[in-house]
Amino acid sequence: MKQILKILLTVILLVVVAILLLSVLKKDAPIVVVKGNLAQKPLPIKLNKTNDTECAMLIKTTRNAAEVVAPDGRTWFFDDPGCMVKWLESKPFKEQVKIWVHTIDTNRWIDGKKAKYGVKDHTAMHYGFGAREKENNETIDFKQMQLRIYRGETLANPKFRAKLLGK
Amino acid sequence: MNPLFLNNQVIVYLFSEAALLALTILLFAKIVKFLWFWDFRSYSNRQLKLEKEAYLAMTIATLLFTLKSVLLIFFVHTIDKLSLIIPGAMCAAGVISANSYGMDLLFIKLTVIFTLLLFLIANSYDLQAKTYPLFRFKSWVLIIASGLIFIEFFLDISYFTHIDTSTPVSCCSALFGNLEGANPLPFGLDITKLLLLFYMLYLGTIIALTLETKTITLLTLLLFGVIAYYGVVYFFGTYIYELPTHKCPFCMLQREYYYVGYLLWGSLFFGLFFGVIWVIMSQVGYNITKAKWASMLLLTLFVALCSLYVAIYYSKNGVLL
């Protein structure tokens, strides 16, 4: 009886190790949300392994990427500031979140609510709002950018695109 | 002042914890004295006095274990009730996650109960022997328990002072349910593999305990503890709530679910505790079969209870969630 139990235990342990190894070694599912960022700092994005929560595209570059951090530390990632604004629109905690955007002029993470946004930039989802740290004649602030996205006044809208770019 | 300190249950809880802290300080001082001066071969007055004081220390430790166990249940009940006044919280899950101290506090509370239970079992065997062979071992266990109780009290105060009643917290659905595609399970597991591991590890633990293999028992117990937690939250719990989207370790402690969470988590934790205590006591030369059997029975009760919910749901509805 003892011998049978020993064999059974060995088989069970081997199966347990096999299941754990198979699970750990399998290709990672894309990251959608990261928990525990209570310091509300910008997190490094694992490129090609992180999903934009709004458009579900894999994030391939940090250029124009954005992050939203909820007060409880949950962090979501976006490939375009436009996706971030659209996703955030329906969230009950939208006023309490910390927003980070990766700038195209200084190439670093800054507070998305203080950033300036171009209106004719090339962005992943073609909304056209490239985040900048420095203001210029063509940039708008966060509130204006938000309003334009709610109204559909983005480069993704053919009518508005034609009006803005003349094509 | 944080308005939570005006809540009756919080006041009772914190005063009880403070009283137990005072007892722990007394206990700690006695234990340090024992470790320093204890010499069982001596017939001096000091040794006789120490032996009498040792009984006082044992009584305090027994009282601590009893009251800490009751207070753990009271703590869980209190944070569950606080969900009524903290915006956003629907059950204890939201309240315990209101700041970073909550989960650490819960973990420390369980560890305190484990160490005190280890002491009680070591103590009962020590008293049966004539020469107090486990005196130093159980004293060190109490030193560790005292240290943990000091940390626990610090966390108690930090936890309650850092709950902001004006800021909304997440409900259990946001914390455990709606993860927007992210896999919450450890080691990249999916539900099928998680369930396979759950039953495999349960069987492995029972066999390892039967064969009395210490290292494998410890390994399977620890791994089963982790897998069982995720199993209950992400699979078995949904059958308790009869709702596939309701994933929460705390809601099952409420009246709506007949307080089954207390039985479920109690059988799991005490099953694990008795198993680990059997391993530790075997390591110091005591094969406590009662602890081994208690572990096997409680873990079997836990697995049977989890499985029963799924079986009942299936027999009623003919489908799984």
Q: Tell me what ipTM this predicted complex has.
A: 0.73
State whether residue B207 sits within 8 Å of chain A by CB: yes
Res B180: pLDDT: 55
pLDDT of B99-124, one tens digit each?
888 889 999 999 999 999 999 999 88
pLDDT digits (tens, 9 = 90+) for B67-105: 999 999 999 989 888 888 888 787 888 888 888 888 899
pLDDT tens readout for residues A27-66: 666 778 888 788 888 998 888 888 888 888 888 888 889 9
Q: Which of B97, B103, B200 to mutate to test the interface with A (most CBs of A within 10 A)?
A: B200
User: What distance in Å separates the CA atoms of residue B40 and residue B106, rounded to the nearest whole number?
Assistant: 38
Across the interface, of A23, A71, A74, the residue whose CB is closest to B167 is A71
A123 alpha carbon, distance to own chain's centre: 13
**Other Cβ atoms closer than 10 A to B304:** 11
Give the phi and the psi of residue A39 in degrees, each rounded to 5.
Answer: -75, -10
Amino acid identity, position B137: F
Domain boundaries, chain A: 33-165
Q: Where are the alpha helices (DSSP H) in A29-167?
A: 81-88, 142-151, 158-165
Assess B189–A contact: CB distance below 8 Å, yes or no.
yes
Minimum-distance CB partner of A38 among B100, B181, B203: B100
Q: pLDDT-based confidence at B26, cuts 50/70/90?
A: very high
Confidence check: pLDDT of B179 > 70: no
The candidate with the shortest Cα–Cα distance to B108, out of B168, B159, B54, B45, is B159
Q: Which has the minimum average pLDDT: A23-32, A58-67, A102-111? A: A23-32
Supply the mean pLDDT for chain B: 89
The SS3 call for residue B135 is helix
Portion of chain A with pLDDT greater than 70, in percent: 98
> Which of B104, B197, B206, B230 has the highest number of chain A CBs within 10 A, making it the mutation to test binding with A?
B197
Say if residue B151's pLDDT is above 60: yes
Residues contacting A20, CB < 8 A, separation 6+: B187, B197
DSSP assignment, residue B44?
-
Confidence band, pLDDT 50/70/90 cuts, at residue B223: very high
pLDDT at B181 over 60: no
Interface of A with B in 18-77 (CB under 8 A): 19-20, 22-24, 26, 28-34, 38, 51, 53, 70-72, 74, 76
pLDDT score for B69: 93
Portion 85-144 of B in contact with A at CB < 8 A = 97, 100
Render pLDDT for B263-314 as a digit per residue (tens, 0 to 9).
Answer: 999 999 999 999 999 999 998 888 889 999 999 999 999 999 999 999 999 9
| Count of other CB atoms within 10 angstroms of residue B37 | 13
Q: How many CB atoms within 10 Å of residue A45?
A: 22
